[in-house]
């Protein structure tokens, strides 16, 4: 079984890891992930402002216009070490969605000194671009990038149980076991009550 230590990443890496030239190009389909720049802010706002994209994400669906503008601007800033890393999804030079790691931090918040880091991943694809495998390929590249380039030990994906397409993506396409919140109707601040966890040692490209 080929794990992240393999010399065969899921993408072709272009540009520099720590600046806006970073681009991950899929080896399988004409899809790429690029760090958004200031000129991409209107595109980000269009994606974030589409209620069909944010139905199951409270942090976006309940955000004000000013909040969304702040989020979009923040995503254009490259931090080192990264505390987040978000990408625009491009298909044949057309932006079709967003994918990335909305949070990067210690695996164990009670023991941050141990140096192990985790990330929280997600993906959002415009309705017109769904059903074509873009979400799967984008998230696959995000996972591989997080483990391979950022050295994360764990990546988590959260979703609301009502988000059937996301559940199918994680359970059927990625073959992951669903972790369900213990309390009845218990959701986090993003509206998630389901979670999937991938450990670095279990990741296969």
The CATH number of residue 142's host domain is 3.40.630.30
Q: Is 2 inside a domain boundary?
A: no
The yes-or-no verdict on residue 188 having pLDDT over 90 is: no
Q: Is 59 inside a domain boundary?
A: yes
pTM of the model: 0.92
The pLDDT tens digits of the residues spanning 58-99 come to: 899 999 999 999 999 999 999 888 999 999 999 999 999 999
| Tally of domains in the chain | 1
| Domain with 46 in it | 11-202
The pLDDT tens digits of the residues spanning 100-152 come to: 999 999 998 777 777 899 999 999 999 999 999 999 999 999 999 999 999 99
Best CA proximity match to 96, nearest among 134, 61, 145, 60: 134
Q: Is 109 inside a domain boundary?
A: yes
Q: In this predicted structure, which of 12-16, 41-45, 70-74 has the lowest mean pLDDT?
A: 12-16
Q: Point out which residues pair with 11 in neighbouring strands.
A: 26
What pLDDT shows up at residue 90? Answer: 98
- Number of C-beta neighbours around residue 164 at 10 A: 11
């Amino acid at each position: 079984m080929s794990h992240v230590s393999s010399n065969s990443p899921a993408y072709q890496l272009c540009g520099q890891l720590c600046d806006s030239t970073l681009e991950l190009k899929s080896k399988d389909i004409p899809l790429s992930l690029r760090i958004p720049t200031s000129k991409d802010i209107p595109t980000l706002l269009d994606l974030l402002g589409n209620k069909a994209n944010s139905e199951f994400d409270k942090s976006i669906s309940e955000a004000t216009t000013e909040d969304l503008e702040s989020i979009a601007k923040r995503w254009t800033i490259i931090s080192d070490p990264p505390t987040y890393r978000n990408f625009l999804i491009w298909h044949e030079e057309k932006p079709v969605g967003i994918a990335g790691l909305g949070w990067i931090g210690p695996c164990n918040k009670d023991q941050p000194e141990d140096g192990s880091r985790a990330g929280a991943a997600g993906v959002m694809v415009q309705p017109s671009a769904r059903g074509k495998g873009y979400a799967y390929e984008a998230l696959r590249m995000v996972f591989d990038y997080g483990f391979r380039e950022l050295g994360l030990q764990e990546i988590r994906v959260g979703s609301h149980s009502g988000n059937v397409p996301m559940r199918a993506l994680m359970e059927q396409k990625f073959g992951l076991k669903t972790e369900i919140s213990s309390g009845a109707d218990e959701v986090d601040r993003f509206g998630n009550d389901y979670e999937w966890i991938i450990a670095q040692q279990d990741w296969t490209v």
